[in-house]
Structure 1
Amino acid sequence: MNHVIHNSIVNFIWGIADDVLRDVYVRGKYRDVILPMTVIRRLDALLEPSKEKVLGMKKQLDGAGIANQHAALCQAAGEAFYNVSPFTLRDLKNRAKQQQLKADFEAYLDGFSPNVQEILDKFKFRNQIPTLIEADILGHLIEKFLDGRVNLSPKPVRDVDGNELLPALDNHSMGTIFEELIRRFNEENNEEAGEHFTPRDVVKLMADLIFLPVADDIESGTYLVYDGACGTGGMLTVAEERLAELAESHGKDVSIHLFGQEVQPETYAISKADLLLKGEGAEAENMKYGSTLSSDAFPSQEFDFMLSNPPYGKSWKTDLERLGGKGDIKDPRFVTQHANDSEYKMITRSSDGQLMFLVNKLSKMKHSTKLGSRIAEVHNGSSLFTGDAGQGESNIRRWIIENDWLEAIIALPENMFYNTGIATYIWVLTNRKSDTRKGKVQLIDASEWYVPLRRNLGKKNCELSEEQIQTIVDLVVNPRETEKSKIFPNEAFGYWKVIVERPLRLAVDLSPARLERFDRACAQAKEEPLAKLARRVAEALGAGPHIDFNAFMDVAHADADKHGVKLTAKRKKLLQGELCDTREDAAPVLKKVHKPGKATPDPIHGLFEAELGGKPCVVEYEPDTALRDSEQVPLLEDGGIEAFFRREVLPYTSDAWIDPGKTLVGYEISFTRHFYRPAPMRTLDEIKADIYALEQETEGLLEQIVGEAE
């Protein structure tokens, strides 16, 4: 379509809001009327030629008592929708009485087919009718949309001699006009646009990232494209156009089917209406309403290409509860088998569910086709590093990287989106890596590649130029190392989290003051026999402090046996808590003594050589939880955990050991670590020159100050 005509239609519809709705609606609410009315007028124009045929078919079906009439009425209308009311918008144009107009307009809306009814319901358009009637502007609004200066019909407007006055508006052009209106309204509502609208430059980059690396491998056939957080559907339609364009340029004939799910009612209505206006009624049926996380609309479907900008930094607590709660989720999308764990859980914290959308997509990959599946998804920085080893976020990263699905991550400039200025990243994933990419991940720092906008759109103050998009895509299509592109083995992002323990060292205080305090604690716990035991041991050992807790316990056990007192775990804890203090020069507290030959000394893992009763043995010590620490050991560490431990820990804490039962594997990705460039320090000559310059500027100042004081 001619761009001048395209823009004139957009501007005309945009102007209706100011002409009709001003002083009745605030600007942020114009879209609540204009978008659904644009949909209604286009559908009305499409249905006008077949109106009598549809009404005749409706009468025939009713007379025959046929209940399921949808298919026959669609066939009569020649569209994927219909309207069985006796009215068209032109019939309503001249209603003089507002109440009659209200009744007839509502009857007109009620006559639409169920798929259009759903759109109107999600738009909540019927809620606007009382306001429009009360302000006496509904008739004016309808009249504006029927204005002869614009044509929203698929047929051209001609004069009496048959000359074309206004060109026909085909489905694609109508869809483009509708998307332009959506974009303008989203940009007007900057505070909420980012929730469901991704800037077109970012969408184009994402589409190129999933299609161009496999452009030469696309064959004639059917391809399914999915967005699990589709918003207004713009990402899907751009992807459809790009894939069709690439297929045509390669001489391939492809059939593309779009699938999407959206939880916000209005944006869902827009996505479905957009496809209807484009004449893609079948695709509109693939747009589903509801939460992708807790109510997946495509549980058994697999897709060739997937792309999304899911909500980030947004709670998914409600979805989590619907799925059964963090401990009881059984959804196979989020609980799988991996790393010898039959219930490997990938459940993120409830405050941020963005990675859950990525897991959902990965569960829908095709594994039996040549191309497999390709995914592009926008995330903020927390997806790269939030979550400790063993936690949901880290488990997701581990699952992805160890399955070798992560192809690349691109860091975008800040202030790229409408409602946030934070750093954002595009993750590119595939289950069909090329041979050169297998076992590797590419990081691209495009954070400094942008052109400024002439006028800020909310937080968005920059965009990607066509050349910059091409540069980024070329680095992905032809992966190579540059200053801004680095390629790493998968293991570079993994680490072992090891728990470093140190022995508990206790000194026993049996002074009179401490014993009195212990008496009170025992009285409160109703443990008077234990208080008497402590005083007897104090008489035998003296007040102390005694720096060998083990020797103290030997005497205590002997006394307990002699007087028939059972030293239960609870009583030992009371003795330790009330009579002991940690002390660095005290002997380590024994936890377990192994029988001769039953254990081999392994000080790195807490098995130490000792001598008890004059005989050598192997012992374990009680760990001091206050001294417990953790270390991250890279998976690529030469010599593994033991070499790291001997080099980085033992020289400083010779009594430390590792608890092997608590070692976990984690993954995190740090752009800062790999792309950080420290600012060069100034040379001594530069510093000296600055000092001399300051001295010259202040020359005579001190004498002047002193002179004034005198």
Structure 2
Amino acid sequence: MAENSNEMISQVGKNIQEKAALVWSVADDLVGAFKPHEYGLVVLPMAVIKRFHDCLLPTQEKVLETYAKVKELAVKDGFLKKASGYQFYNTSKFTFKTLVADPENIEDNFKAYLNGFSDNVQDILARMDFQAQINRMVEGGLLYQVISDFNSDKADFSPENVAAVDMGYIFENLVQRFSESYNEEAGAHFTSRDIIYLMCDLLVAGDKNAFEEDGISKTVYDMTMGTSQMLTCMEERLKALDADADINVFGQEFNPFTFGIAKADMLIRGGDPDNMQFGDTLSDDKFTGYEFDYIISNPPFGIPWKREEKEVTAEHKKGANGRFAPGLPSKSDGQMLFMLNGVAKLKDTGRMAIIQNGSSLFTGDAGSGQSEIRRYLIENDWLDAIVQLPNDSFYNTGIATYVWIVTKDKPEERAGKVQLIDASQCYTSRRKNIGNKRVDITGACRDLIVKLYGDYTDGTFKDTDENGNDITVKSKVLDAVTLGYNKITVESPQLDENGDKVLKKNKPVADAKKRDTENVPLDEDIDAYFEREVLPYNPDAWIDKKKTKVGYEIPFTRTFYEYKQIEPADVIAKRIEAHEKSLMAKLHELFGEEA
């Protein structure tokens, strides 16, 4: 499986990019009539239409024959879907080949062809506002040329020529190009296959319930599905374990283009297109009341949630009946809201792998929304592990990113503990970068990370990748209680002009200017800590226990910090002296003895 997945990963940089580049070259014909950032408005829907076309071509005659028999019936969808072999169909007599054979009538014929699609395809094209782009192509005299470009042999998107998973990645590559040309956050839509496979394997490896019965029957959900490739890869992984596995995938997306591609992909793969829902997950949850076996997601981070503030705040006020009861994060970053949404939708035996950036580990003081969300996960003993990915793993960012593994059904041996895995040095450098993506988590890398997760032990573990290069992973299993602390407020007395304590009702009045706080580890007695760490330096101080707050943070960097011995001062001095002598010698050589 690892070798096969490595081949698939490498295709992202080869065949898939080449195919996407070929499709994108259609944009050359759009110059003038469309601005560069508008090219995707044509290219993406046309790629979707051509994929549908090539899937349906072998059964076109059968569909037309069936349509002639059932077109007067009120209920005909079932007959036509059966005839096409897919969850969609087209009752038009036209193909791309016959369209280009009649250039004089290209507009009427193409519109007739599109009108022949089933309603679920019509919905996709409507969300992409494709009719408006057809009109613009007609006005610019470009429609015939664009259809001709997609009719070329090189643009063959038939299932025999392009597998479903690969087609999904071609779509993603096209969306990425469109996003870049539009100055959008391109990586908002993408998680590369190597990272998805790692997330899938971590989910399955830790699932003690995966093989309880004769066959696998699982539901999978992605709350920010993009073009749905996480769902596709998760299904692929589970099918590899059990070819007869019953996998049902569900996803929500609020970008109309990526949603259209996700729904198209679902239609082509024979799944239920109603499981793909359009809308903003935070403000317009389409899966209220649903619970899932697996959740896999890469929500946007660093994105404000001001747009959804009204709905999110109302949901928070529902308390335990809502998705956001524990707390609300800073309005500048909504990624932890997606974390809570996922937790709310996990079955009691469910598992979630969700990507977050470093801020989710530590931002927010005790009592803040972020800290309360961490507290919620840890005190319920749902946080199982966090894996730091290598930098430069994503197309649009080089920052540190982390996969959180959350489960409501921890094995007994993992109860009350959290495993931190530093896989930042476990990667293979790419020969050719894709945006900011400079590294891959290949099969050897993934196997080492997953093995370490399963072994559940402390230490530094080394291996070699497929090219013989060293890879390293570090693991530390922590007691969950060590991630928490009591933030205490230390007060000092206010003094009058004579240096005496100011009293009120025989009690010292606190001096707000001298107020201080201390973070006391949750597993340590507060009074003992105070007597040891504070009173020796401030004998008149006291704790205002009404202000004590519990906080949680995950000290990832500190956990794996390794102290490096500093060179002795005399060694450093000798090196500086030698450098100075070398510099003076070069100056004398350059300017002569007078230098």
TM bracket (short chain): 0.7 to 0.9
Which residue, out of 300, 308, 312, partners 1:311? 300
* Aligned CA distance change for structure 1 residues 57 and 41 (closer, same or farther; 3 Å): farther
User: What's the offset of the Cα at 1:135?
Assistant: 3.5
Which residue of structure 2 aligns with residue 569 of structure 1?
A: none
- 2:64 corresponds to which residue? 52
Look up the equivalent residue of 2:301 and give its one-letter code.
Answer: Y
Shift in CA distance, 110/700, structure 1 to aligned 2, threshold 3 Å: closer
**Among candidates 634, 655, 659, match of residue 521 of structure 2:** 634
CA offset at residue 35 of structure 1? 3.3
Q: CA contact under 8 A between 2:324 and 2:341: conserved in structure 1?
A: no
Which whole-Å CA distance do the structure 2 matches of 1:706 and 1:652 have between them?
Answer: 61
1:347 aligns with 2:342: no
- CA drift of 1:274 comes to 1.5
Matched, 1:663 2:548: yes
> Which residue is equivalent to 2:90?
83
Partner of 2:361: 384
Equivalent residue runs for 1:228-377 within 5 Å: 228-248=223-243, 253-278=244-269, 280-282=270-272, 284-324=273-313, 328=317, 332-336=321-325, 345-367=326-348, 372-377=349-354
Whether 1:125 aligns to 2:135 is: no
Structure 2 CA distance for partners of 1:385 and 1:703, relative to 1, 3 Å:
closer
**Which amino acid letter does the alignment assign opposite residue 273 of structure 1?**
A
Shift of 1:127: 2.6
| TM-score when normalising by structure 1 | 0.73
Residues 63-108 of structure 1: CA deviation (Å, up to 9, x unaligned): xxx3x554454345443123344544444323333xx422332233
Partner of 1:445: 422
**Number of residues paired by the alignment?**
563
| Separation in 2, partners of 1:147, 1:217 | 45
1:320 and 1:326 in contact (8 A); partners too: no
Whole-angstrom CA distance in 2 between matches of 1:703 and 1:221: 79
- SS of residue matched to 1:224: strand
| Residue 48 of structure 2: aligned partner | 39
State the alpha-carbon separation in 1 of the partners of residues 154 and 424 from structure 2: 46
Match 1:654 to one of 521, 539, 543: 539
**Percent of pairs with identical residues:** 39
Q: CA 1:496–1:487 in structure 2 vs 1: closer, same or farther (change >3 Å)?
A: same
Map of 2:206 onto structure 1: 213
Distance 1:468 1:302 in 2: 32
**Structure 2 CA distance, aligned partners of 1:148 and 1:687?**
68
Unaligned residue ranges in structure 1 (runs of 5+): 155-167, 337-344, 508-546, 548-584, 593-618
Aligned to 1:407: 384
Asked if the contact 2:486/2:551 (under 8 Å) is kept, the reply is yes
CA contact (8 A) 1:373 1:431 kept: yes
Task: Give the Å deviation of 1:327.
Answer: 7.6
- Code of the aligned partner of 2:538: T
Mark the runs of 5 or more structure 2 residues left unpaired by the alignment: 461-473
Given the superposition, is the C-alpha separation of residues 118 and 698 from structure 1 closer, same or farther in structure 2, using an over 3 Å criterion?
Answer: closer
Pick which of 486-495 and 36-45 moved more.
Answer: 36-45
Query: Post-superposition shift, 1:128?
Result: 1.9
Tell me which amino acid in the other structure corresponds to 1:40.
I
Tell me the amino acid that sits aligned with residue 42 of structure 2.
V
CA distance in 2, matches of 1:291, 1:88: 36
Correspondent of 1:673 among 547, 553, 558: 558
1:161 is matched with: none
Say yes or no: does 1:466 pair with 2:443: yes
Match of 1:115 in 2: 120
- AA at the equivalent of 1:309: N
| 2:102 corresponds to 1:95 | yes
Structure 2: how far apart are the matches of 1:246 and 1:128? 44
Report the equivalent of 1:500: 490
Question: Could you say what secondary structure the match of 1:452 adopts?
Answer: strand
Q: Does residue 588 in structure 1 map to residue 569 in structure 2?
A: no
SS in 1 for 2:285: coil
How far off is 1:463 after superposition? 2.0
Q: Return 126-135 or 142-151, whichever deviates more.
A: 142-151
Shift of 1:145: 3.1
Q: Cα distance, 1:503 vs. partner? A: 2.3
Alignment partner of 1:643 out of 528, 537, 541: 528
Post-superposition offset of 1:627: 1.7
Please give the alpha-carbon distance, in whole angstroms, between the structure 1 residues aligned to 2:118 and 2:501: 84
Contact 1:261-1:292 within 8 A present in 2 as well? yes
Q: Distance in 2 between matches of 1:363 and 1:309?
A: 17
CA shift, 1:700, in A, is 8.2
Q: CA deviation at 1:195?
A: 0.4
In structure 2, distance between residues paired with 1:456 and 1:103: 44
> How far apart in 1 are the matches of 2:136 and 2:586?
74
State whether structure 2 residue 462 is matched by structure 1 residue 485.
Answer: no
Structure 2 CA distance for partners of 1:685 and 1:259, relative to 1, 3 Å: same
Counterpart-to-counterpart distance in 2, 1:313 and 1:150? 37
Change in CA separation of 1:174 and 1:222 when aligned onto 2, cut-off 3 Å = closer
Equivalent AA in structure 2 for residue 214 of structure 1: D
Deviation at 1:184, TM superposition (A): 5.7
Find the partner of 2:142 among 137, 143, 159.
137
User: How much does 1:479 deviate?
Assistant: 1.0
TM-score by length of 2: 0.86
Structure 1 position 422 matched with structure 2 position 399: yes
What displacement does 1:465 show? 2.4
Kindly provide the CA deviation profile for residues 174-225 of structure 1, in whole angstroms up to 9, marking residues without a partner as x: 4523423433652685563310101111111111110122378423142100
Deviates more, 1:451-460 or 1:215-224: 215-224
Note if contact 2:316-2:324 (Cα within 8 Å) is conserved in structure 1.
Answer: no
CA shift, 1:9, in A, is 9.5
Q: What SS does structure 2 have at the residue aligned with 1:244?
A: helix
> How big is each residue's C-alpha offset from its partner over 1:332-362, in whole Å with a ceiling of 9 and x where there is no partner?
34454xxxxxxxx321121111011111111
- Pair 317,287 (structure 1): closer, same or farther in 2 beyond 3 Å: same
- Report the 3-state secondary structure (helix = DSSP H, G, I; strand = E; otherwise coil) of the residue aligned with 2:338: helix
* Helix, strand or coil at the partner of 1:323: helix
Residues of 2 paired with 1:631 and 1:174: CA distance? 56
Equivalent residue of 1:305, what SS?
Answer: strand
Give the Å deviation of 1:306.
0.7
Indicate if the aligned counterparts of 1:303 and 1:364 stay in contact, CA closer than 8 A: yes
**Residue number in structure 2 paired with 1:519:** none
Letter in 1 for 2:65: K
